[in-house]
Every structure is written in C-alpha cells, then in structure tokens.
Structure 1
Amino acid sequence: MSKTTYWADNYVQKLTSAEKALRHIQPGQRVFIGSSCGEPQHLVKELADASVRFTDLEIVRLLCIESGPLTLVANRSHSQQFNIRSFYLGSASPSKIHRNKRFNTPINLSQIPYLFKSRMMPINAALIQASPPDDFGWMSLGVSVDITLAACESADIVICQINPNMPRVLGRSFIHVNDVDYIVEHEEDLLTIQPLPELETANTIAKHLSRLIDDGSTLQTSLGVTSEALMLCLSEKNDLGIHSQYLSDGLMRLFSMGVITNKKKEFNDGKLVAGSAVGSNLLYEFIDDNPSIEFHPSDYINNPSIIARHNAMVSLNTAMAIDLTGQVAADALPYNNYTGINGLLDFTRGAAMSKGGKSILMMTSTSDHGRKSRIIPNLSDIAVVVPRGDVQFVATEYGVVNLFGKTLQERAMGLISIAHPDFRDELFSKAKEFNLIDINRKIKQAIKGVYPLKYEETITINGIAIMFRPAKPIDERGVQEHYYTMNRGDIVSRFFHEKKSFVHDQIDTTFEIDYINDLTIVATIGELGFEKIIAVGEYFRNSIINMAEIAFSVSREYQSMGIAQILQRKLTRAAIDNDIKGLVAYTSPENTGMIKLFQKLPYAITSEKDNDMIILNCLFSKPKEDKEKQ
C-alpha cells in the first residue's frame, strides 16, 4: 500500500528554481504558456534566456504579447529555436500577425480544451502562474483560466510559478499542488493594459448600440476601444448579466454602479462568469476572492449551447471588415497589447440561439486613418471568420443595420448606408456590377447623408413602445407596406389623388434622403430590422424660399394617438437645426385633421386658398402671441 503524502510536504519537495525546472524541457517539444495577463513572465524570460540550447521548440499560446521575450526571439530572422503557434480564428492582416501567419491555428476557442485532452495535440510541458495554495493545497489560476486549465490537466509536466500577486478567483479555476510537477516561487507584478484612448467614432457607435440592449440582458464583450465606450453608454441600464470570455475594467465599473446584478440571467444567476481578466491592477483586486465572480475554462464559457441558455444573450464583438453580402473578417483589436484570439463565432452562434438574443458586430467605418473602407465589395482575398448566414446586427458610427433574413440587395443597401460617405458611391457602383443591386437603380446625392442619431426616441403610447427615428435606405419595403395598407381616404389625403401602386421610383424620396434638405421620420414598432412602419412624416426643402413642405400618413389603427403631432414636432426641430425658415403644408379643405395638426404649432399660422387646395404657412421667427397660444 502506497503512503499518502501531505500536500504541504509535496509543495516543499517540488520547490525549485526556474532554471532547474526548465531543464526538463527538451528540444523539439511542445510547450504551453499561460494566457494573456496570466502569463508567467519570470518563467518565460528564463525560457527565452535559455533559447540557445533549444531547436524547434513549439510554443503554444492563446494570446501573444508582441513585446514579450519569446515573441522577440521567434521573430529573429531565420530563428530555428522557437515557433509560436497561436490559436487564431481570424484574418491575419496586421503585419505583426502576418509575419508568423503560417503558425496560426484556426480553431474555435470552445474546441481547444478537447484538442489538448484528446492528445490530438500533445502538450509536453505547461508553464503557468497561480496564486499561493490555500489551507487545502488548492491554487487558483487567477486572471487566466480559458484554455490554461485544460493544458494543466493534459500536459506531461506542469511548471507552476507561484505569485502572491495572483488573485484567488472562484469557479473552475483551481489546480492542486499534487497535480503540478515543479513549483517556482517568484513575486512580480501581473501584466496589465493601459487605459484605452477615447475615440469619438467608438463613442458614437456605442450610442447607436445602447438602445439595442434591454434591461435584464446577458452580455459578452470583446476587448477594445468600442467595447469600453459601450460600457459608458450602458450606465442607465438595469440588471444586466455577464457571461463573457473577458472581464474588463469597463465591466467592473458597471458592476460597482449596480448596473450589473446578474439577477436575470436565468442561468448561473447571481454570478458574473468569465474566462479571463485583462485590465488594471484595480480589476485584479476586484476579482480576488469575490463570491459574485466565477471563472471557467473556454469549453464552458465559449460553448454555444451554454451561451444559448442565458436570457437575452447579447454578443458584442469587433470586426475588421465586412463585404456587401455580409461576410465578416475579424482580427486582433486596435489598441490591444495582445493578438491571436477569437471566440467570435462561438458567441455569434450562441447568442443567436438564446431567447431574445442578439449578435452585434462593431467596426469603425474606415481604417488606415480614413483611407480605407471597412465595408468592402467582397472578401475575395481576406479570410472569412463569420459566414454571411450568421451575421445579425452590424454597427458603425453611421448607424446600425440588421442583416438577418435580408436579401442580398437589402444587405448591400443597408451596409452602404452605414459606410463612410466618401466610399458609398464606389460601393454602390460595385454592388450593381456584382448584380447585388438592380442595375437600373440610380444613386442620389442623398446616399451620402449622415444619419442623425439625435432624432431617435422611443415613446410608449397606450402601452405600445413606438420608435421615432429618421428613415434609412433599407426602409423601402417597410414604407411600401405602410402605404399599401392605408385605406383610400388616407391615400387621397396624403397624395391628393388615388394611388394603387407605390413602386420604388414613386416613393424613393421617402427613404433615399440626405437628412438636411429631405428628411423623413418614421414611427415603428418591433425589433430593429423587422419593424413595422406605422407612420411617416416627411419634409422637402424648397431651396428658393427656404421653406420645408411637410406631409404625414398614419396607419388607420394607430390614428388618434398623437403620433402625427410627435412627427411634426420632430420635423420642426430638424428644420430649425438645418436653418430652414419655416414650414408649409398643402392640403384639401376636407382634411381637417391636417389643418388642426398644423395649427398646433407654436408659431403664427397663415393660410391661403389655391384652387381646391389650402396652403398653410408658418415662420419659426414668428411665434404665436401668448393669448393665441391659450
């Protein structure tokens, strides 16, 4: 019968120096290195210093630190000492990644633990970092569990750097002293990332997206400037939950504000669940022994079936480029010290399967200081990470579109509308060339209009949440359906004659607008991308007299709810913002509703007859007299 050894005795027996522990690694072996901010820097430095005795050592890691010693050794010209295998489901475009592109291993993050445990990719040694053991001999992997736990469980030998600065994080983050082979005690600061710079484009994207995230949603966020900006825009939300690859400083702030409670996740309720933390020392203090936080390995965090169990799961990730059909390229994020990680597809599909879930891709409209568009005609020479069939919401600083269930023409028009205005002409031309858009459709100056987010507003009327917003090019079908469902009398009131068709050429001025000289505000119900348009308010600027002609239509079942008055108020505000002198309306004497509506404006109203029409006018410079208002 073998004698059981007390773990503390084992600890003492396994204690050694980094130099001695690394002697057990032989040339030609495969070595895993702990991920991201959990990287055992002391062990890595010693391994780099000993590089002269190695040939063909394969380094396996999840996130690469570009300035790290092993990366520098591997990047030496004709180096035969190290190859760095990075798990990367991305497009490998930036030069630092592209240099070692041949060693990238495309794989979904959820599948990497199986790759290790099945021994399809045997790990000879794992270099990890952990917290000091507790009274029972358990050590926490701290800020980086992800694929590190699987590497520990399947490696031939495990060399563990014990660092008292490593937080003790709860969940499936623990390894036991008895399950490691060599222990190296070395205290050092954990890796951190600097606060990300504030970008106005990121802030604008965040404002667009904040209205897509409902109270009680469960979020996954990627690292990067846009995600951090989004955190600032969620400060008014309630009872958000977190199930994410990464925990960041932005999420910590939302938690401290009471925005994140994890009470309505409907799975792992009350727990903030993640796989790693990447951020500041304050973040690492926050997660230390925090009973509301659990870290789990990536085959759990990134498992689409686990992700789908959460209530209203929303995935928020950054893309590098998207083509006009919706195919997405993705890579390492800007302003991030790490490269070579992407669990994008896992969360995209998991969120799509969640009840009330949404998958959102964020990108600035341009790259290379505005010289290149991120929305491009096709991804012919760039690897596709997210197939077009998996893409839902796409956001740039120029707006948000929902591509789910949309035709190729609807996708192309929607993406062109949120591209940078400088590139829309070219994209429109290419879309016609590729037969994505009707060859007879003509481009108008309006396609360069910048969507005015400030006019968006959700108002609840009679218990119905109604979104009032500027119209978009992708609203063509919705506007047509609105007009086709109107009754004869309302059509005559709106168009001054009977109409039985509302083809593109007859109504294109409603949705192909520049938001300044031509503006349409629509009232919608339902989810973005599948809204039902229940009312339309429009103005057309007469540049000769600098007056805006307004017109309205409201679906029969939504009339007498004050919707037209809200539309008129918003059009008035926009006209004033755009230096228009006043409003004019042409209507028939029988259209008492329009006459009363116009008279509710807070300006002096004049009217005149013109054959069978009444022309109503008001100037913004002439408010009603106080007595008249009363």
Structure 2
Amino acid sequence: MSAQQGSLHSDGKSVHWRQLLKSGSRIFIGSHAAVPHALIADLSAHSQHLHDIEIVQVYALGDNAWAEPEYTQQFKVNTLFIGGPQVRRAVAEGRADYTPCFMSDIPSLFQDGILPLDAALIMVSPADEYGYHSLGVSVDIVSAALRSAKKVIAQVNPKMPVTFGQAFIHKGQIDAFFDAEADLPEIEATELDAVTERIGQYVSLLVEDGATIQIGFGNICDAVLRYLGNHKDLGVHSEMITDGIMQLMQSGVINNRKKTYHQHKTVTSFCVGSKALYDFVDGNPHIGFYPSEYVNSPANIARNDCMISINSAIEVDLTGQVVSDSIGHQFYSGIGGHVDFSRGASMSKGGKPVIALPSTAQDGRISRIVPHLTEGVGVATSRAHVYYVVTEFGVASLRGKSIRERALELIRVAHPKFRQQLLDEVRKHYYVPNYQTIKSVEVPELGNVGFKELCIDGHYYDLRPLNPSDERRLQEFFYSHTKETLQMRYNTVPTQMSREKSCTLVSVDQATDLALCIVRQKGSAAEIQAVGRYYYVPADNSCEVAFVTREIHQGKGMASRLLDEMISIAKVRQLGHMVAYVRAENHKMLAVFERAGFKRLASEEPGEVHLKLSLADGS
C-alpha cells in the first residue's frame, strides 16, 4: 500500500479501472455512512470507456451523484432501499430500479447468484498489525457483498472507526486499494414537535425494564429513546444504532445485562449519526457489528426475550396492514429490516412489534389511519405481524383482535376529525355494525398519556377511560359478576349483556359523561377489574355516580380510587354536585361514598340511600 494517495493500487503498483471492470458489470457500493464516495468519484472520472454499469445499493448517505441524469449512459442504479432525493427522483423518473426485499434476504441474493456481483466497492479502516481492515460503521450487507463479489475494491479511510464483531476483512481479500481520507457523513438530530414527543412517550410505556429493543430511524424513534431515560437494564439487538442509543448506553440505561442472547453486548449491523457516535463505536468492545443475515434473522431476534421492535410507517389501514415503502404509486423508501424485526419480536417470549406514526399527514389534511390502503401502495407488514399501533392519541392494541375490534381500536387513535369518516367508511364493508358509534374518547384530565398507573394490593393496574373497543371486555366483566353483585349494582338481576347493550355502555361521550375503568394489562391481554361512571345532569349541572367492582377485588380500594378520580375531574369541569343512589344493605359501597365526603339525604325509595357531595364550595 505504498502507492500515491488518491490512486488505485495493488501490491504497490498502480491499477486502472479497465483492469477491474468492464461494460455491463454489476457492482455493489458500501452502505449508509460507509459509502466510499472518493472511490466512486474516481471511478466516474476515469471510466469513460465503461457503459451500463449496474450499481446495487441500499441507503447511501451523502451525495448520490451517480444517480443524476448525466451519468445515465455510465451507471444504472438498482436500489434495494430508496434513500435520498437523487435516488428517489431517479426511481420515480424510471432512470433507476427499486428491488423490494427484506434486509435479511439481501445477502442470499448475492450468494445465490440472483444478483451476482462483479465487484464490491467498500470503505475500510487502515489495516492493523495483523493485516486486518475493519468495515467500521457498516457491516450489514457489505459483509455478504465482499464475500460474493469477484473483485473487492476498498477505499482506505483513516477516519473509519474500528468496530468489532464480524467486522474484519484481511488485506489479502482485497484486490485493489484507494487511499483517501474523508469525514463520515453525519445526521444531525432535529427538534421534536409536540406530536412526535407524545408518540415517543406512548411508545416508551410499552417498553418494560429489562427489555431488548430494536429501533428504526427518524424523529419518532429519537423521541422514543428520549423517553426511555428512566428505564433500567435495557438491551439492544437492532440493525442500526443512533446517537440516542449511545446516550442511553453512556447513562447506564442500556447495559444489556438482562439480554437472553448476546448478553452484555449491544448487537447491531450499522450505525448512523454524529461524529460523537462514530467516536463512541471506535474500538468499543461493548458493541458487536454483525452481518444483516445474522442480526436481522427473525429466529435470532426471537432469541431475545421481551424483544420490542419499534418502527414507523406511512399509513395503516383499519385491519392493521402497514405501508412503509410507498406513497400511492410512488416508491419512497424500502422494506429494510421492518418486517424482519416485527416477525422476530412477535416470536419472542414477551415480545412486542410496535408501529408508531403521526395520525395525520400534509399538515393535518389527510389521515394516516385509513379505511383501506391507498391505490398503488404495498403492504410491508401484514395485519398478523403487528401488536401495537401508536399515534399521538394513544396505543391501539391489535393482537388477538377481530377485524371489528381492530377497526375500533385504530379509529380510537386516529385524529378526532377523521374518526366519524373512518367509521362510516368501514361500515360499508360490514366490519363494524350500524349500532356502533364513535364519540369523544379522551379524558384530558387524566394527564398527558390519558391513564394512570395504580399499585393495588401489590399488583399494577391502569386507570383509564372505557372506549368502544372495550365492548367484549365489558361483556366478560358483566358475566363474571355474582347475582349479589348484580343486585347491588342494578337493583335487579339482569341475565344478559348483549353486544348492542355492551356497545352502548362503552360508547360514551367522555367530554360530557364519564366512564372510567381499572384494567389489569398483561401485554396485549386486558381484563376489566372495576368500572365507575357518572352521568351528567344538565338541568342542575350535576352528575350521578355508580360503580361496580369484580368480586375478588371488592374491599381493596378500587372503587375509592375511581371515585377520587371522578371527583377531581368533576371539579375541573366545574360541576355543582354529585349524587349517588345505593341500596341500604350495601354497606361497603356506602362507606366508600361517605369516606369521600358524601352526605346522606332523605330518599323517596324504600331500602335505598340517597347521597350527595357538594363540589361548588371546593369540598
């Protein structure tokens, strides 16, 4: 490697491109932040005799000049993931091709001769004392490309970090070298808006301490990482890592000590971000860079218990189908590792595949939650692969849900101005019956995330609003009651809770009336433990309150917690007073009301106690 910097050489002798390539060759260029730009520029400048060189690539950070129209006779891009405006424009104009594929499958396209490579143009660090160069910040599919290509041509960059894992190639495997020092392209973090912040907050609530995470790229994923700052013992198995991962590792939130696969090590295949990130991975023994066929293998991903995959999307239909690579007929990005990790997380013990996206696009003019997929788009992730869909309006839980239940869950997290339209559209296909209605489902008085976590008798529960997708849960709750409980709550013993009746009870306009529940949530499974309601009485600006609690929890304080919350909300809404009617023999419920300050009044009904709490005086 004694030849002059800035020229091709091998064994100390100059090499010309005509000795390495011929017209019609297919070449691979390094990916993400490890694109050998100086090497490609040299190829462009010294290969006028070459024509129709097919460039196979994924996302290439930096200027993709080879995709511009002036290079049409020289190069033809075939991208396996669309990234950057130049490549996106070339695909849209038909000057470049897009080949959709899973990131985990790309190596086999090279190795099986489906996309045979004549050369791989890569970027590496200088060789160590043993003659090994590091692939640095991108091992991903570069590893498979250099093993499959007939020729390997490397830009040797002193600024390329040395990374560990399966990140090395011996100098004897490289056919030609090009010495060129260059800064790695950086991606700066952007300011997060309120919508993105809220989505990040909701997603973080799905991540338990000790979980292993995979995170995608973009503002939403940055927001998620910011809200994981108070978590403990997180692990990482992700095709990419960013500055947010680095910061959580530095703070000790990510320590990988509870991982069940590659314990004590962050596993990735590439990184993109700031110079600080590139410095962080340089020589860092706590991070392993491995090939995509290894990192993105759903079977390997699933070996991590509590695997949480977090990815964004362009749109989601009301059955749960996810679009991530196209906007209508226009191809926008690619499938990448989205499906690999959704599948792997769904196979993991305690795993959760999560899709996060804003509820609207184009400055709020269109909904990203749609009744049917836009013409021309392709499904990246099937409706069976997604457990959670998160917007700024909450978390939709889809696992094990019928089409009707999925539609109701997704409408609930759609933007309020589109909810009725979505319901009307989905009814045309009989997914949702005519009696189902959508009303205001948010209770902002419960705080930013719309629910509160409770610890009762050593167990954790969520106190949240009832919503239309709770229809079946409310049925199950009703049929769990004894005759005595039904008698105390309804003053009779009803024998049926039909779907229509249950639907009426969960379709509450929470802006006027109030219906709260305490739910035991285990992953995608939820069971109602208690329900509290008040019905607004406009005539005197009051409300009537009622409760029912599952028998095994009676006497544990659930009714009191619900009542306290409802009193607080009623005061914020400036109601004058609350009333309740309780059977005289229901001593436990009477005690709940009286502890909250309710006073007994004369009742017109024998055997019934009338109670009242004045709110206007601040009591």
Q: TM-score, normalization: structure 1?
A: 0.90
**Counterparts of 1:216 and 1:196, CA distance in 2:** 28
Residue 59 in structure 1 maps to residue 55 in structure 2: yes
Structure 1 residue aligned with 2:230: 236
2:110 corresponding residue in structure 1: 116
Q: CA deviation at 1:621?
A: 3.6
Residue pairs, 1:63-142, within 5 angstroms: 63-65=59-61, 67-73=63-69, 79-88=72-81, 98-100=92-94, 103-142=97-136
Identify if the C-alpha distance between structure 1 residues 581 and 108 changes in structure 2 by more than 3 Å, giving closer, same or farther: same
Matched, 1:368 2:365: no
Say whether the 8 Å CA contact 1:159–1:181 is kept in structure 2: yes
1:173-572 matches, cutoff 5 A = 173-331=167-325, 339-340=333-334, 342-379=336-373, 380-438=375-433, 440-446=434-440, 453-572=448-567
CA contact (8 A) 2:441 2:467 kept: no
Superposition deviation, residue 606 in structure 1: 5.7
Q: Name the structure 2 match of 1:627.
A: none
Q: Could you tell me how far apart the structure 1 residues matched to 2:351 and 2:222 are?
A: 21
Secondary structure of 2:239's aligned partner: strand
Q: C-alpha distance in 1, partners of 2:314/2:602?
A: 57
Distance 2:245 2:238 in 1: 10
Tell me, in whole angstroms, the C-alpha distance in 2 between the residues paired with 1:52 and 1:579.
Answer: 78
Match of 2:166 among 143, 167, 172: 172
Moved more, 508-517 or 240-249: 508-517
* C-alpha deviation, 1:504, in angstroms: 3.6
CA contact (8 A) 2:580 2:611 kept: yes
Code of the residue aligned with 1:143 in structure 2: it is: V
* Aligned with residue 154 of structure 2, among 151, 154, 160: 160
Q: Identify the range of structure 1 (155-164 vs 59-68) with the bigger mean alpha-carbon deviation.
A: 59-68
Measure the CA separation in 2 of the matches of 1:101 and 1:558. 66
Shift in Å, 1:277: 0.4
2-side partners of 1:357 and 1:418: how far apart?
A: 22
Contact 2:350 2:523 in 1 (8 A): no
Q: Using the alignment, how far apart are the partners of 2:572 and 2:68 within structure 1?
A: 55
Q: Deviations over 1:105-153 (max 9, x none)?
A: 1111111111112222111111111111111011111111100011111
Distance 1:529 1:515 in 2: 24
1:628 aligns with none
Kindly indicate whether the alpha-carbon contact (under 8 Å) linking 1:89 and 1:106 is maintained by their aligned counterparts in 2: no
8 Å contact from structure 2 (residues 35, 60) kept in 1: no
Distance 1:551 1:147, change over 3 A: same
Q: 1:452: how far off?
A: 6.0
**Contact persistence 2:398–2:524 (CA under 8 A):** yes
Which amino acid letter does the alignment assign opposite residue 128 of structure 1? I
Which has the larger displacement, 447-456 or 615-624? 447-456
SS at match of 1:269: coil
Say whether the 8 Å CA contact 1:332–1:341 is kept in structure 2.
no
Code of the aligned partner of 2:342: T
Q: Residue type of the partner of 1:59?
A: I
Is this contact kept in 2: 1:16–1:182, CA < 8 A?
no
RMSD value, Cα: 2.7
Does the aligned pair in 1 maintain the 2:267–2:289 contact within 8 Å? yes
User: Could you tell me how far apart the structure 2 residues matched to 1:98 and 1:374 are?
Assistant: 22
- Return 5+ residue gaps in structure 1 as ranges: 625-630
Structure 2: which amino acid aligns with 1:560? G
Deviation (angstroms), 1:23:
6.1
Aligned length: 605
Cα displacement (A) at 1:518:
2.2
Secondary structure of the structure 1 residue equivalent to 2:560: helix
CA contact (8 A) 1:132 1:164 kept: yes
**Secondary structure of residue in 1 paired with 2:522:** coil
Task: Flag the 1:455–1:114 CA change in 2: closer, same or farther, 3 A.
Answer: closer
Report whether the alignment pairs 1:596 with 2:591. yes
Report deviation, 1:220.
0.5
Report if aligned partners of 2:324, 2:333 keep a CA contact under 8 Å in 1.
no
1:102 and 1:16 mapped to 2: Cα distance?
35
Structure 2: give runs of 5+ residues left out of the alignment: 3-7
Find the aligned partners of 1:455 and 1:582 in 2 and give their Cα distance: 24
What per-residue deviation string (whole Å, max 9, x for no partner) do you get for residues 319-378 of structure 1?
111111111111389xxxx94452111111111111111111111111111111111111
Q: Which moved more, 1:310-319 or 1:484-493?
A: 484-493
